[in-house]
Chains A and B, each alone.
Chain A
Amino acid sequence: MLVLGPLGFAAPWLLAAVLALPILWWLLRAVPPKPAVRKFPGVSLLVGLIDPEKMPDRTPWWLLMLRVLALAAAMIGFAGPVLNPDNRPAGSGPLLVLIDGSWASAAEWQDLRANVADVLDRAQADGRTVALHAMTAPLPSDDALPFRDAAEWSIRLPAMEPQAWPSDRAGFAEWLDANDAGSFETLWFTDGLANSADESLFAILSESGPVTLFDDGEPALAITGPVISDQALLVEVLRSKADAELTLTISAIGSDPIGIERVLGQSEAIFGASDLKTEARFEMPLELRNRVSRMIIQGVASAGAVALLDESSRRRKVGLVAGVPDREAQQYVSPMFYLKKALAPSAELIEVPLADLLPASPDVIILADVGRLPATEAETLAEWVRMGGLLVRFAGPRLAQSGTGQLEDDPLLPVQLRAGGRNLGGAMSWGTPKTLRPFPAGSPFQGLAVPGEITVTSQVMAQPGPDLSGKVLAALEDGTPLVTGQALGEGKVILFHVTANAEWSNLPLSGLFVEMLERLTASARVAVAPVADLTGETWTPVKVLNGFGQFTDSGLATGVSGERLAEGGVGHDMPPGIYAAGERQVAINLMQAGSELAAMAAPPSNIIIGSIAAATEIDLKPLLLLLALALIVADVLGTLWVSGRLTGPRVAAAVLFMLAISLTGGRADAQSGDEAALLAANNSVLAYVLTGDDRVDAISLAGLRGLSRILTERTAIEPVAPVAVDVESDELAFYPFLYWPISELQPSPTDAAFTKLNTYLRHGGMIMFDTRDANLGRSAGASSNAIVLQRLTAKLDIPPLEPMPRDHVLTRTFYLLQEFPGRWTGSDVWVEAAPAAETMEGMPFRNLNDGVTPVIIGGNDWAAAWALDENGSPMFPVGRGVGGEGQREIAWRFGVNVIMHVMTGNYKSDQVHVPALLERLGQ
């Protein structure tokens, strides 16, 4: 290939012919245009005349120029000019095409695939064997790279998709190292993310041959699994390259109360010019937050841009333990009643004895007036709190009487209690009930408004001590602690110095109580199920992400063992998604909080950096040949003009010819299609399906013409001339009724046509199939047309059918009919089976559901009976004599009924109830 700047020529030697153009010029100039020869008797009068005007006997220069240009264009065209030729040298030997194929490539996957396809095409042209390996896929099972014909890979390429996990470069490097694959050239299409195994992989690949690295250069963006911190959902947003400032919109998506997925909240993640990591914060009401199911980076389609939330980041599990068993009659004084009312909207409540509660791994345990705990239970509970649990205790008579924490430090109480409590505002006390102070700074309740009507009449008292003030989370107006708390291990113990019922204070009656409990539960750390819990169970994927960040059907995905889940890290054996075991669900995210993204380091110097965005080749040959053709046409016209023969009709012909060239057929088609649509949309039109059998089509046309005439004469439906419909190309939506005669010549529609037909049937269209073979006897399904019908309708969405019942609405939409003859009679006519007949009181008719039957199937050759020729006389004999004409009349009536049924739907069906309704109204 000869390359001149951006132009290349496939057959450059043809360009030598251009040198001959000057000779051609001279030759063409020398030869004048051939004169026209005319027979003309008047020549005798002409003899001896001298031409007053000397016509140049040489071709005019511009005509010559046209011809030479046309020839030059053709020559250059045949020399195969290519703009931006692909002049990479042809390679040889086996070629390994290595693709990372991870989520980070998803955004540019189309380009990547096109580039790989290009590489494969070239390899095929060069006759190289190719192995294509995506490092997100499992390692090759045998011990050699699968070098095969490039065409084989080209077939598979379109099915390749980016995966939702990082590429396993380390595994592939190890595998290559272990299996000597011989020498090959490597083209590595990377996703641009750094990996610890990069260096070793480079080294191993370089050993086998030259390596070219293609990187699209786009930074990868990812979002980590969200964490809850300070009442807010927090996600980290990562990018692999810090090249500029960047602001991303992060959306929290979840279902609204109706269950429709919506964006529940949006937040911005702002990268500074050199930031690789930033975070987005979602401050949203708990109620809303609990519904968030995933968070995405807006506008980025990759698995990295999706973070899934499972139950753990939503509703907290709260264990409730009461000191006093519920007494049936007194539920409004039970502390449990108030707690349940307050917590039920925002938390999952577990009410089991304490011993059974801990294995259910609750996030919060609330003890309502529980006195002394058995030592073992106290110990496990303390251990649970130390592991991060939140223990909330409410005081009460039993706690006060038990003396717990009065003499010694109880780890399950934040403060030491004084023996006996205090009563305020009672008959025997001097003081008045105390109200609350505003919550102190540092308290979890900080910022909550304190209503003035909350009063406390009884409480347990904390033993004063030097550290007491640090433990107070809420206090009364006189400074007495009302809520105290203390950290224990990683967890926290909190004590309300009043009861959870309205006995000691009216706090549980107030909204503040609900808010305080919500604050507490929301602040609880999510209980991570210990690894020991995960093992031994198989977690089945509920929803998994594909590389583009969309949920895919997880039907084929295998379960994941608990050990693998505990191990963490996604891969082809565990794609990111939602996994469930029994009731429990976990979300496995691609990125966990704290993970990082980094761009791939510069490769070693022996690695060639390929550019992925090569300008695409443009083949100029068709363009030039078209130009040559246009010039030749211009030359023809010019020659005619010069020789004076471009006159009258020839001018018109030439103009028409030019118009025909400049107008494409497609536009003309579109034009006529629009007209057909307008006609069909503005009028009632009966339509028939073209079968490809001219005779059958002609009968259909005549039949519908006849039916249209009968309809116009007898009913308010006045159809215009019937229309032929090609199910492949025509829009069906305009036609309420399609007559489809079955012919053996009919080819099966394509899948696209079937889709169209199914849509048509589902949205109220009706197709009347006519096998036209009822004269051949009643052996349904055996005739050749019936077999064709089966073939045609195999992919149609046809509901269950039944022979038309005697009370079908079709028998009374206009005429009262009991049989439905066409040219033939006697065969069953099948319509949509009615749902189980609902025989209503006094109503013998079926209460058919709304729709019109989408199909009518029969073999009576209706069109032939309906058919009228241009003069309005029947085209085909029906039956014999007067009886036959009667049958034709009934056939027409049936046609009228069918069209009425199509046009009016169940209106007629309803009409039959009118007498009954009137009768009822009269009563």
Chain B
Amino acid sequence: MSETRPDHAALSHSGRAIWLRRDAEKITGSLPPLLAEASQLAHVLASGLHGRKRAGPGEDFWQFRQALPGDPASAIDWRRSGRGDALFLRDREWETAQTVSIWADAAQSMNFKGPDSDRTKGERARLLALSLAILLSSAGERVALLGTAARQPRNGETQMQRMAMELARESGKTSDYGSVPLTPLPRGSRAVFLSDFLGPDETIFPVLARAADSGVKGCLVQILDASEEAFPFDGRTVFQSMAGTIDFETQRARALRTAYLERLAARRARLQDSADRNGWRAHFHRTNESPRKALLWLYMGIGVPA
């Protein structure tokens, strides 16, 4: 994002967090605050800042109602009450916050960077995660980062800081392909999964089904490198997974291109299909595309009622 951005690896943990935060704020800056759709208001226990179309704790005016016995005297709106004999209270709209759980895949496969790319898929995922979190947080939503220490849904600057620190943490020894953490999602909350979804089927689709069962809706973003979409290889090649657990040797890589692209298309179709059936939305993002495109899509995906 910034041309003066130093090499990711050369920074300390907190330094990386700061940079990530900056990048994220940069791409969110031009979007209006996100108001998550609150159709599941009744099921949400926690209060939030969204208007719930009913009176309750909140900032905005909702309605005047006649004071009932037991209402505190301090709640009386004397200005309204002064027009007549009845005492009126000023009800405010009950505001509540949406909970959005974000999962940014931190597996080894996300550390891949094609020869013509300058960011790894993981970097892009973390960037999108934090950008989205900042957008949501500034709109009053509560954000959680699944699988990390910031998994408790909160909002505010502290949560942002914590998330940035978590996202910038070195992934360490992780598995080849990521799988969604099995922590139960808050009922009716929203979820965003950022991954390449190249891992085994059983690590992906059951999780979606389970999430849908608990009323969680959300977005899938498959982040791929350009070389993973184009497969520009030729010659005698041994392909290895990032952690080296899988390898595959071919005599002429070029000849496998068609088959590979077919399989990739099938995987995407399945992701799309699975998302559709579970009320999710799927998006396919390439690291050489602008991250704003994906963020805008996420904004739409989270904000528009499913």
Q: Which residues from chain A sit less than 8 Å from chain B, CB to CB?
A: 32-33, 35-47, 49, 51-55, 57, 642-645, 647
Contact = CB atoms under 8 A, between A and B. Distances in A.
Given A46-B239, A57-B236, 17 more contacts: A35-B237, A36-B235, A36-B236, A36-B237, A38-B238, A39-B240, A41-B109, A41-B112, A41-B242, A42-B228, A45-B264, A49-B263, A51-B255, A53-B255, A54-B251, A55-B251, A55-B252
B34 to A, nearest CB: 31
Interface in B234-268: 234-242, 246-256, 259-260, 263-264, 267
B198 A41 contact: yes
B177 interface: yes
Given A41-B228, A643-B236, A644-B234, A47 B251 contact: no
A715 B187 CA distance: 89
A43 B242 CA distance: 9
B303 interface: no
Interface in B90-130: 109-110, 112, 121
B236 A49 contact: no
B196 interface: yes
11 contacts: A39-B241, A40-B228, A40-B241, A42-B231, A46-B259, A46-B263, A51-B255, A52-B259, A53-B255, A54-B251, A644-B236
Nearest to A35: B236
A40 B112 contact: yes
Contacts of B267: 45
Contacts of A55: 236, 251-252
Nearest to A52: B255
A-B pairs with the 10 shortest C-beta distances?
Answer: A644-B235, A55-B251, A644-B234, A41-B109, A35-B236, A45-B263, A43-B239, A53-B255, A40-B239, A643-B235
A44 B246 contact: yes
Contacts of B252: 51, 53, 55, 644
A47 B255 contact: no
Nearest to B259: A49
A35 B255 CA distance: 15
B84 interface: no
A29 to B, nearest CB: 16
B233 A51 contact: no
Q: How large is the interface on B (under 10, 10 to 19, 20 to 34, 35 or more residues)?
A: 35 or more
A808 to B, nearest CB: 61
B181 interface: no
A212 B292 CA distance: 97
Contacts of A32: 236
B250 A51 contact: yes
A35 B256 contact: no
A685 B253 CA distance: 60
Given A35-B238, A644-B235, A49 B256 contact: yes
A53 B200 CA distance: 27
B199 interface: yes
Contacts of B247: 43
A644 B253 CA distance: 9
B301 to A, nearest CB: 25
A49 B236 CA distance: 15
A49 B246 CA distance: 14
Contact of B241 (A41, A642, A645): A41
Interface string B206-230: 0000000000000000000101100
A54 B256 CA distance: 11
Contact of A53 (B110, B228, B251): B251
Contacts of B233: 38, 40, 644
A38 B200 contact: no
Contacts of B227: 40
A33 B237 CA distance: 11
B177 A44 contact: yes
B237 A43 contact: no
Contact of B238 (A37, A42, A44): A37
A43 B251 contact: no
Contacts of A644: 233-237, 252-254
- Interface of chain B, main secondary structure: mixed
Contacts, number: 110
B198 A44 contact: yes
A794 B256 CA distance: 78
A8 to B, nearest CB: 45
A622 to B, nearest CB: 36
A54 B251 CA distance: 6
A45 B237 contact: no
Contacts of A44: 177, 198-200, 241, 246
A42 B198 contact: yes
Interface string B252-292: 11111001100110010000000000000000000000000
A49 B264 CA distance: 13
Nearest to A647: B234
Nearest to A36: B237
A231 B121 CA distance: 112
B199 to A, nearest CB: 7
Nearest to B256: A49
Contacts of A645: 235
Nearest to A50: B259
A51 B237 CA distance: 12
Nearest to A641: B235
Contacts of A52: 255-256, 259
A616 B14 CA distance: 78
B188 to A, nearest CB: 33
A57 B242 CA distance: 26
A586 to B, nearest CB: 92
B205 to A, nearest CB: 15
A45 B234 contact: no
B78 to A, nearest CB: 66
Given A38-B238, A39-B240, A41-B112, A46 B177 contact: no
Given A49-B259, A51-B252, A644-B254, A38 B237 contact: yes
A47 B246 contact: yes
B241 A43 contact: yes
A40 B229 CA distance: 12
A403 to B, nearest CB: 132
Contacts of B255: 51-53
A42 B240 contact: no
A645 to B, nearest CB: 6
A57 B251 contact: yes
B196 A41 contact: yes
Report which residue of A35, A37, A42, A46 has the largest number of chain B beta carbons within 10 angstroms of its beta carbon.
Answer: A42
A645 B260 CA distance: 20
A25 B104 CA distance: 54
A60 to B, nearest CB: 13
A500 to B, nearest CB: 115
B198 A47 contact: no
B248 A47 contact: yes
Nearest to A33: B236
Interface string B170-198: 00000001000000000000000000101
A643 B227 CA distance: 19
Interface string B18-59: 000000000000000000000000000000000000000000
A553 to B, nearest CB: 77
Nearest to B244: A39
A644 B250 CA distance: 12
A303 to B, nearest CB: 76
Contacts of B121: 41
A35 B234 contact: no
A33 B235 CA distance: 10
A35 B236 CA distance: 5
Report which residue of A32, A33, A35, A643 has the largest number of chain B beta carbons within 10 angstroms of its beta carbon.
Answer: A35
A183 B199 CA distance: 97
Contacts of A54: 251
A43 B236 contact: no
Contacts of B263: 45-46, 49
A47 B256 CA distance: 11
A40 B198 CA distance: 11
Nearest to B121: A41
A643 B199 CA distance: 29
Given A41-B109, A41-B242, A46 B260 contact: yes
